[in-house]
Structure 1
């Protein structure tokens, strides 16, 4: 019974840390770039697009498909950076816990 109470205490402690981590992650921002910096997208930790910058040289009618592709690539780059930051923060939070490989948080 003593082990169960200890486990419950650790679970509550981890939940509080996880909530704090979620707040911290929400305040993070990451900027992804494409086309050597011609297009950049900044996302919040929640994945919301905060800004989009496009070099004026890309505003040519015949290059609209290239511009669209670069915007998508920059967005995906920023999203990957946010996910990497979240994974790193989660790893710090769960350090020392016996969590099975491939198990994702939140529960």
Structure 2
């Protein structure tokens, strides 16, 4: 996965654990696509200070994921729910029993709701 996307996703999971100044720098850099100079101007710190803050926060995000694994677990759950939904859809399509169809439809609906 591209690093920018990965950092953005990790920021969604762990951003609140960062210091406010680092959180702001990461948000402006990755989500608002501002340059280091633009962030420095906006936050009134040096360009090098912004770069250091972003690099430090990136490392913290990767460390949080390594220790907590929330993003990895989220991806596994999402994949599992998709498999459950696909299996329920297959059961529904291949069954002639209305009770089984109703149960398969309920399983699919529940899995789909959990994915949202």
**Structure with the larger helix share:** 2
Normalised TM-score (structure 1): 0.34
| Greater strand content | 1
The structure whose Rg is larger is 2
> TM-score with structure 2 length normalisation?
0.32
